[in-house]
Structure 1
Amino acid sequence: MGFNWKVAGCAGVLSLGVALSSSIASAAEIYIPNLSYRTGPFAATGIPLMNGQRDYVEMLNARDGGVGGAKLIFDECETGYNTNKGVECYEKTKSKAVVTQPWSTGITLQVLPRTNVDKIPILAPGYGFSPMADGEVFAWAFNPPISYWDGASMILNYISDGDLSSLNGKKVALLHLDHPFGKEPIPLIEKLAEENGFEFLPIPVGLKEMQNQSAQWLQIRRERPDFVIMWGWGAMNAGAITEAVKTRYPMDQFVGVWWSGYDGDLKLVGEKGKGYKSISWNVPGSYPVMDDIKTHVVDAGNSLLDSPEDMNSVFYQRGIVISMILVEGIKAAQEKFGTPEINAEQLRWGLENLNITDEVLADLGMAGMTVPFSTSCTNHTGHGGGWMLEWNGTEFVQVSDKLMPDRAVIEPLEKAKAAEYAESNAPWPDRSALPCE
């Protein structure tokens, strides 16, 4: 009987099809959901951050086929910055996720106890509960590269020229969102005010007052603080900056946390906002990584940016840094456990063993874009420091050398508050099941 090329051809196609199906079915994927907020009163600042996070991941997928042989599945679950919706998103995404990114201190506090049970790490870069730095208590929570208490320390060090005793007899106001996020720096500032003899004046801004802060700025005019520190977010920042200009508060005495340093808010007042400052752990600029994102994502039509010019935003580039931190944790876990498709427990190890050096940043095309830092079993933040940015009338520019937090003051408070949290949420697991490596 002769050889049947038609049958052989069909068999070959079938064999190839089976092989392709098998290959597709076995392709490694890593699911990294993001509890985003592109809607609601915080959308203006949430959108550029989410866009930056997303575009870095999409660039890696397009340029490198993912990370370590695994495609990254970046999925957003919209919370509107609402805590209840955030918890719903956490529950909805946790079964497949290797990480949860809550994107709100309120949501972070709600899911914090659940992650011990679900064994899924929280990644909250530059936000969340400051005592999460204590890895001996919070084994599943990470907030690199600096915490809110680190930020408050750096701001106070900057305005006092490195000598907090020089603030003796002066008045420092904290204009803050009346929300867990906005209340974060209060314990540390209270402590430092008592130790250094300055008056601390907290001024809360309710969620319904964000766009109309006339009462708060009337109080500022009456109290005449020497400095106003802003712990604001979303619509609150634009409202505060507009009121400061209107009331002619000296902008060079007005300093914000890194979430109060959004270009779009300052563009509303332009030259009149000149001198306003914001502490930051990223510096906007033209970095090689930006060229790769433009080539593989923006120019390819796979970005959600309204305009390529938005790539220059402080927050868009901070989103890139945030996804970089997550990806470096994934890489560390892949190398440690010898698998491209890591799970949540393996990523926890990766996030606990980050080592973001100047050399690593240079290799990533991000030299100078963010601060070097490392994490460990006991240190889940890294405490890498930051820079002061200043609005020059058209953009934010770096105006300081790298600033560092006063860890000798902060660390005892972290440990005390971490122990207090564990006691009030007893039974709280110790690290015996997760020995340090």
Structure 2
Amino acid sequence: MKHFTKLAVAAVVAAITASASLAQELYTPNLAYRTGPFAATGIPLMNGQADYLNMLNARDGGIGGVPVNAEECETGYSTEKGVECYEKTKGTAIVTQPWSTGITLQVLPKTNVDEIPLLAPGYGFSPMMDGKTFQWAYNAPAGYWDAADMIIQYLESQGDLKGKKIVHLHLDHPFGKEPLPVLEALAEEKGFELVPIPVGLKEMQNQSAQWLQIRRERPDYVIMWGWGAMNAGAITEAVKTKFPMENFVGVWWSGHDADLAIAGQDAKGYKSISWSFPNADAPVMAAIKEHVVDKGNSKSNEEEMSGVFYGRGIIISAILAEGITAAQKHFETAEITAPQLRWGLENIDMSEARIKELGLEGMVPPFKTTCANHTGNSGGWMLEWDGEKFVKASELLTANTEGYASIVAEKAQEYADANQPWAVNGDCSE
């Protein structure tokens, strides 16, 4: 598009508008979890996602003039229900949003056969970064291996890690185990001891055994890969055992305001890496208020809307919308297909200028996807709980992707070999 003349650009817009008059909808089902053990974290995320797309529908008539149908299929974060939702919605969907690493791993091979893009922003299977191998899967703007690398970078900025002990407190679930390959490699490289401590699904709210082990281990730092009730349980135990909160760092799904609010000032100093940040003054928030909240069409509330997870939901839907927009322009049609959205999702250019144009200033770092890189590796900020809210505690951190590029290649190849026949994108050169 950048090489088009103004006249050609106008022609594309006209073509999209003309086709939109005949279009029905863009079906982008969301495998939501407003119920179950992780509902407290799922609800603000789903509300943010829904409100952004509802705003586009109300203000712009959708995307490219086509209304978006972001119907939710409730999974309760159950892998079995998630697969059922995928099968139920895949018929006319242009995308699937699994919302669980477990569900992602189950539907990933299906999407490669069904040729439906799988969008898992900031979660899922980290080797999906390899777009040549995982041509239908996207985890932009950052993956779990990015998070692990950035957390270790931040801790290293506080002092040499050689000889230190770091506990990896994690949900005993594919999500919690996902960063281990990179954390183990970094432990060997930097000379620190990594101590994995799992938390079972039935232990999330009572982690006394895990924190007894942490007291015995006397680690220098605890890194938490927690979700839902596990986060609040861990923070409560950390306060109770007087673990220094400034040495307690979570992944971005362990940085939910409501979890920290339970401990309030006692949790001051706790940190969480994040590729999103809430900005109440961002123009997008005013647009959502005008077109959705004031019309009585939001399930959210003022307190929730000021939090990290609601804002992250907005960013997730904005990423999807950018992929749709890119595809519409490239294929000169408003009602795109799933294969066309695949192209759009690997040609997202979320530059500083585009972020400003979308009214998302300060809410997400710039990133760009390609056919070879489906993550984008935006980087993230270290956020810190100040006793009442999360504030930025660092400049933008960026992952050293070269440091684990060989692991990405190795794990991607292992996956392809184990799931033969596995179609790859042989036309992708960069």
The TM tier, using the shorter chain, reads over 0.9
Give 3-state SS (helix, strand or coil) of 1:324's partner: helix
CA distance in structure 2 between the partners assigned to 1:175 and 1:408 by the alignment: 26
Are the aligned partners of 2:148 and 2:182 in contact in 1 as well (CA < 8 Å)? yes
Q: 2:108 aligns with which of 95, 107, 112?
A: 112
Deviation per CA, 1:127-165, whole angstroms, max 9, x where unpaired? 0000000011000000001110000000000011087xx
Aligned residues: 411
1:330-409 alignment, distance < 5 Å:
330-409=324-403
Give the structure 2 partner of residue 185 of structure 1: 179
Deviation per CA, 1:192-249, whole angstroms, max 9, x where unpaired? 1112211000000000000000000000000010000000000000000000000000
- How far the C-alpha of 1:368 sits from its partner, in A, is 1.5
Are the aligned partners of 2:331 and 2:340 in contact in 1 as well (CA < 8 Å)? yes
Are the aligned partners of 2:20 and 2:66 in contact in 1 as well (CA < 8 Å)? no
Are the aligned partners of 1:32 and 1:100 in contact in 2 as well (CA < 8 Å)? yes
Deviation per CA, 1:16-75, whole angstroms, max 9, x where unpaired? xxxxxxx99934310010000000000000000000000000000001111111110110
Deviation per CA, 1:155-206, whole angstroms, max 9, x where unpaired? 000011087xx21110000000000000001111111111221100000000
Matched, 1:425 2:419: yes
CA distance in structure 2 between the partners assigned to 1:39 and 1:279 by the alignment: 26
Deviation per CA, 1:330-354, whole angstroms, max 9, x where unpaired? 0000000111100100000000101
CA distance in structure 1 between the partners assigned to 2:214 and 2:389 by the alignment: 26
Deviation per CA, 1:276-326, whole angstroms, max 9, x where unpaired? 000000111221100000111011100011x22321010000000000000
- How far the C-alpha of 1:377 sits from its partner, in A, is 1.1
- How far the C-alpha of 1:428 sits from its partner, in A, is 1.2
Matched, 1:89 2:103: no
Q: 1:147 aligns with which of 143, 147, 160?
A: 143
Give the structure 1 partner of residue 170 of structure 2: 176
1:161-240 alignment, distance < 5 Å:
161=157, 166-240=160-234
Opposite residue 76 of structure 1, the aligned amino acid is: E
CA distance in structure 2 between the partners assigned to 1:197 and 1:354 by the alignment: 38
Are the aligned partners of 1:132 and 1:418 in contact in 2 as well (CA < 8 Å)? yes
Give the structure 1 partner of residue 6 of structure 2: none
Are the aligned partners of 1:298 and 1:308 in contact in 2 as well (CA < 8 Å)? no
Consecutive unaligned residues of structure 2, counting only runs of 5 or more, are 1-18
CA distance in structure 1 between the partners assigned to 2:147 and 2:290 by the alignment: 34
CA distance in structure 2 between the partners assigned to 1:45 and 1:377 by the alignment: 31
Deviation per CA, 1:80-114, whole angstroms, max 9, x where unpaired? 00000000000000001000000000000000111
TM-score (norm 2): 0.94
Give 3-state SS (helix, strand or coil) of 1:376's partner: coil
Matched, 1:79 2:75: yes
Are the aligned partners of 1:28 and 1:340 in contact in 2 as well (CA < 8 Å)? no
CA distance in structure 1 between the partners assigned to 2:302 and 2:398 by the alignment: 33
Distance 1:85 1:215, change over 3 A: same
Q: After the TM superposition, which segments of 4 or more aligned residues of structure 1 sit over 4 Å from their partners?
A: 434-437
TM-score (norm 1): 0.92
RMSD (Å) for aligned C-alpha atoms: 1.4
Matched, 1:256 2:250: yes
CA distance in structure 2 between the partners assigned to 1:33 and 1:319 by the alignment: 14
CA distance in structure 2 between the partners assigned to 1:162 and 1:346 by the alignment: 46
